[in-house]
Amino acid sequence: MIRITRTVAHESAQSEYLLRHYDALHSALVQHLPINFSTLFAKPVKSSDGAIEWYSDLQGQPIPFAQLSAIERDKLQAQIARQLTVLARLREQLSEKEGVDSELLTLLGKISQFPAEEHIWSVDNQPVILWEPMSASASQNIAGNPDLVASQPEQKRKPRWLWWLLLLLFILLLLWLLRGCLPRSHTHIAIKQPNPPVAVKPPQVKPVEQPIKQPIEQPAPTVPEVKPEAVVISPPADVRKRCPSQRKRSQAPEVVVVFDASGSMSISVDVTPQELQYLLQRKAFEYIEREPSRITLAKKSAKKIIDKLPSDMNVSLVAAFDCRHVSASLPFSPTQRPALKRAIDRITPDGKTPLALALEKAGALVDGVNRDAIILLISDGDETCGGDPCAVARALKENKPRLQVNVVDIMSSGAGNCIASQTGGKVFTANSANQFNQVINQAIQDYIPENCNE
């Protein structure tokens, strides 16, 4: 746990409210929402001098909202808006149930308000809010006039920065005046300290490549023995086009559906990239995420195609939520497809786009040597977690020659072109709601036998 900052409690009643209700808030978020919601609000702790210290379970350097770049601020505000929208919906759902604590509903209502910029911090590219309950009149004023959110923090912040600047200048002047009084041995120590970080930098570059290659090379020991047989075996197309009664269960192709569950998948499919920039500048988040969203259409189309797959084919599910959060399921048998569709319904967009890691996990779920395998990747953008999906796709194809990756490219981003070409797959673009069903049908069509009702 890291300390973000400390603030002076101007109102004792408000301070006590924060300290008394944080545990209830944290428990509600953990119980009803994904894990990333539990880190959205910083934990307040009262220090011995009466100030409030704010802590977070995230690891990284806390950065105030005002010190972020314009692009980083837009991304952070968009993520906060999405999560606050989910909190507001949670409050509505709980209010319809009997036996829900009214104090919890009041608390959820308070934290659903968009915070002032001075209360927003970034830790490891994730938003952290220094939450504090606002009076009814204050929340109404801020909700009714968005300009106040941006203008008021500026007026409060300037005097505070001025005092800090004067203090820094005074310290620098004092150090300069006393420089002759300091022992020279200390200066030698200060000069040598920067050397260790320079020596440490080369090892930091190597681990970036290893996480991708190690999991993918696991099947390598078996590849030299089986690879020649994969070429001699009858063409994969023959097996793919056979009905279940015409092939062994072990010959049925394996399917993995990979969902890009990054934050951008919550954007409406009707919003173009140009419109997105325009709306972000004006913080029109509700219009950006109006239905039908990209993730909604992707889930509906995927569930329809699952119903059309032959009765001897297993289907696995991979959801790429963020750089360090990619979930992969065990294969669902044909009788477990209702559970598979329920798992798809639970996918909620959040974070960045780890395509390389998602492909790596999907490839580990299939044989691809003695058995055909198809990975259906549904995504709307490029890799944003530092991975190399093209290299992963190339390694998968080398180790699993009967594996193919077809890409459903939302909004024609072109991000999946290399992935498909490296594995002998195809790219299918979907730029509107009407194209989704047709495109996903085309992407899996080669694995659905014609005139087969089994």
Give the tens place of pLDDT for each residue, 187-217.
Answer: 443 434 445 544 445 545 444 444 443 443 4
Indicate whether 27 and 157 sit together in one domain: no
Whether 140 has a pLDDT exceeding 70, the answer reads no
CATH number of the domain enclosing 234: 3.40.50.410
For residue 313, what pLDDT is reported?
A: 92
Indicate whether 122 and 16 sit together in one domain: yes
Indicate whether 263 and 163 sit together in one domain: no
For residue 404, what pLDDT is reported?
A: 95
Distance CA 204, CA 194 (A): 16
For residue 284, what pLDDT is reported?
A: 59
User: Quick check: is 383 in a domain?
Assistant: yes
- CA distances to 71, 189, 249, 257 from 133, in Å: 28, 49, 60, 43
Indicate whether 101 and 173 sit together in one domain: no
Indicate whether 308 and 165 sit together in one domain: no
Q: Which two tokens stand for residue 58?
A: 């995230």
User: To which residue do tokens 């759902």 refer?
Assistant: 93
Indicate whether 268 and 223 sit together in one domain: yes
In this predicted model, which residue has the larger pLDDT, 140 or 57?
57
User: Quick check: is 202 in a domain?
Assistant: no
Q: Region 305-318: what's the mean pLDDT?
A: 92
The number of CA neighbours under 13 Å toward the Cβ of 296 is 13
Indicate whether 140 and 161 sit together in one domain: no
Whether 11 has a pLDDT exceeding 90, the answer reads no
Query: At 380, is the pLDDT very low, low, confident or very high (cuts 50, 70, 90)?
Result: confident
> Dihedral through CA 232, CA 236, CA 241, CA 243, nearest 10?
70
Indicate whether 156 and 138 sit together in one domain: no
Among the residue ranges 85-99, 110-124, 261-275, 295-309, the one predicted with the least confidence is 261-275
User: Quick check: is 213 in a domain?
Assistant: yes
Query: At 105, is the pLDDT very low, low, confident or very high (cuts 50, 70, 90)?
Result: confident
What's the mean per-residue pLDDT of the chain? 77
In this predicted model, which residue has the larger pLDDT, 158 or 418?
418
Domain count, the chain: 3
Whether 228 has a pLDDT exceeding 60, the answer reads no
Indicate whether 184 and 225 sit together in one domain: no
User: Quick check: is 178 in a domain?
Assistant: yes
- DSSP-derived letter for residue 133 is P
For residue 421, what pLDDT is reported?
A: 94
For residue 88, what pLDDT is reported?
A: 84
Distance CA 240, CA 242 (A): 6
Range of the domain at 180: 152-193
C-beta neighbour count of 44 within 10 angstroms:
22
**What pLDDT digit, counting tens, does each position of 382-427 carry?**
899 999 999 999 999 999 999 999 999 987 878 789 999 999 999 9
User: Quick check: is 453 in a domain?
Assistant: no
**What pLDDT digit, counting tens, does each position of 174-194 carry?**
776 666 555 544 444 343 444
Distance CA 177, CA 110 (A): 52
Whether 138 has a pLDDT exceeding 50, the answer reads no
**What pLDDT digit, counting tens, does each position of 338-372 carry?**
999 999 999 999 889 999 999 999 999 999 999 99
User: Quick check: is 203 in a domain?
Assistant: no
Q: Which residues contact 249 (CB under 8 A, 6 or more apart)?
A: 312
**What pLDDT digit, counting tens, does each position of 43-54 carry?**
988 888 878 888
What are the phi and psi torsion angles at 296 (to 5°)?
-65, -45
Indicate whether 187 and 251 sit together in one domain: no
- Residue that terminates a domain, selected from 125, 144, 163: 144
Indicate whether 424 and 291 sit together in one domain: yes
- Residue that terminates a domain, selected from 128, 162, 193: 193
User: To which residue do tokens 């972000």 refer?
Assistant: 280
For residue 77, what pLDDT is reported?
A: 87
Distance CA 81, CA 70 (A): 16
In this predicted model, which residue has the larger pLDDT, 98 or 404?
404
Distance CA 405, CA 376 (A): 6
For residue 96, what pLDDT is reported?
A: 82
Indicate whether 133 and 55 sit together in one domain: yes
Whether 157 has a pLDDT exceeding 50, the answer reads no
User: Quick check: is 100 in a domain?
Assistant: yes
Q: Region 57-79: what's the mean pLDDT?
A: 87
What are the phi and psi torsion angles at 348 (to 5°)?
-125, 125
User: Quick check: is 352 in a domain?
Assistant: yes
Contact 403, 369 (CB under 8 A): no
In this predicted model, which residue has the larger pLDDT, 240 or 269?
240
Whether 145 has a pLDDT exceeding 90, the answer reads no
Give the predicted TM-score (pTM) of the model. 0.50
Facing residues of 44 across strands?
A: 54
Contact 303, 312 (CB under 8 A): no
